[in-house]
Chain A
Amino acid sequence: MNAVLQASAESMEAPLQVRGLAHQYGGQPVLAGVDLTLQPGSVLGLIGRNGAGKSTLIRAMLGLLQPQAGECRVFGEAALQLSDRAKVRLAYVPQQPEALAWLTSQQMLDYVGRFYPQWDAAFARTMLRDWDILPNKLLGKLSPGERQRVDLIRALASQPELLVLDEPAAALDPVARRDLLREIALRAGEAGTTVLFSTHIVSDLERVASEIAFLHEGKLLLHCGVDESKERFARLWLPAAMSAAAPGRTLGRRRHADGSLSLVIERDASGQWPEAVNLPGARLDALGLEDLFVEIAG
């Protein structure tokens, strides 16, 4: 195969793909059959409650953890045996970075930068200043938030094709968080960077994600476009007297103390809501992402 053909075949590979992923800790299932494919240039926001298994899913996807069942591929390669060529194209920021703690921020960035052909040293310098990191302080002496900021800079400066961030927002104040979101959004839109980030701050995800996935009880409940999630789902409230006429199968269902009912309903293929929306006293509420998540996972 000539170089051009090979390059185009590579770019067609899904940056991340998992099938039938299952894992448990001490007999407690964390992932119970997850299938997920990330297309190049997409920004996937992964939401889930604390302990839902987001970090486990991310680590397994990248080959940092051997799952009990399932297949994980990164740029088409088996995640557990990634080649250096694939590793150079990806950057991952864990929730609590610990590596290279005996180096200063500047030393670490200089050292790591040598492994990446696309390393942007000027960007790293600017970001250290913008995010108030002392370049000559040992990584081990930084606060957890500062430590994660340095790692985010490290990840972005390598100009990866695939960027994976585990709860990046936790370490950032609102201004720095907005900087990060801007970087993610512009890189996805212009350089075609594929991004996966987990978060519990839903508004971050609504800004930059092109798609969302809810991880709940070990499964992906919903994986769709952000806009689609807002247009396809709504909450239907039915008064107690009408609750017997409620549609049978719905994504979320809560019965309130007075017998009234809240349901998450979905448009059918032709864009119509279920007939129950016309019942006397029925009320249809549009749902933001956070409300949708609470209705489904709450």
Chain B
Amino acid sequence: MDASIFAIQPTSAEPIYRQIVEQLRRLIAGGQLSPGELLPSVREVAGFHAVNPMTVSRAYGIAESEGLLERLRGKGMAIAAGAGRASTPAQRLALLEPQLADVARQARELELPAESVLRRLGKLMGER
């Protein structure tokens, strides 16, 4: 895995360190990253995305304290042994809550009924 695994949007209202933590959370919960896999170094991520290395190490530090990552001596950060295994569909769904709340608000503003939004969402997900 290399630094391109992260998609960073500096102009987003969500701080970069949180974008990284949230992406790690989703990738681990979804099984794209499995325990033991090594993460790109802070320098690689900072260099690739031209972001401040302190931001990246802050993100890694938070993910480590939440048990998503563990520091392997001499090797760097890896996906923690226990990370992801316990995640149920309900826990994974909870990770989508902010985005869903946003869609719900916008759908209400557009006066769209839930079923047409759901139908469209189902279609979008099926296309992949």
Contacts and interface: CB of A to CB of B under 8 A. Distances in A.
Contact of A182 (B15, B17, B50): B50
Contacts of B46: 182, 185-186, 189
B10 A186 contact: no
Given A186-B43, A203-B10, A227 B16 contact: yes
A206 B53 contact: no
Given A185-B46, A206-B10, A207-B10, A230 B51 contact: no
Contacts of B18: 227
Interface string A271-298: 0000000000000011111110000000
A230 B43 CA distance: 24
Contacts of B55: 210, 227
Interface residues of B, number: 21
B13 A188 contact: no
A285 B11 CA distance: 14
A152 interface: no
A206 B47 CA distance: 15
B50 A286 contact: no
A208 interface: yes
A181 B53 CA distance: 12
Contacts of A291: 13
A178 interface: yes
Interface in B26-76: 42-43, 46-47, 49-55, 58
Contact of B53 (A185, A231, A286, A290): A185
Contacts of B52: 43, 185, 188-189, 207-210
Interface residues of A, number: 27
B12 interface: yes
A188 B55 CA distance: 12
A206 B50 contact: no
B110 to A, nearest CB: 15
30 contacts: A181-B50, A182-B47, A185-B46, A185-B50, A186-B47, A188-B52, A188-B54, A189-B52, A189-B54, A190-B43, A203-B11, A206-B10, A207-B10, A207-B50, A208-B52, A209-B52, A210-B52, A210-B54, A210-B55, A226-B15, A227-B15, A227-B17, A227-B18, A227-B55, A230-B13, A230-B14, A231-B15, A286-B13, A288-B11, A288-B12
Interface of B: 10-18, 42-43, 46-47, 49-55, 58
Interface of A: 43, 178, 181-182, 185-186, 188-190, 202-203, 206-210, 226-227, 230-231, 285-291
Given A185-B46, A209-B52, 16 more contacts: A43-B52, A181-B50, A185-B47, A186-B47, A188-B53, A188-B54, A189-B43, A206-B10, A227-B17, A227-B18, A227-B55, A227-B58, A230-B13, A231-B15, A286-B13, A288-B11
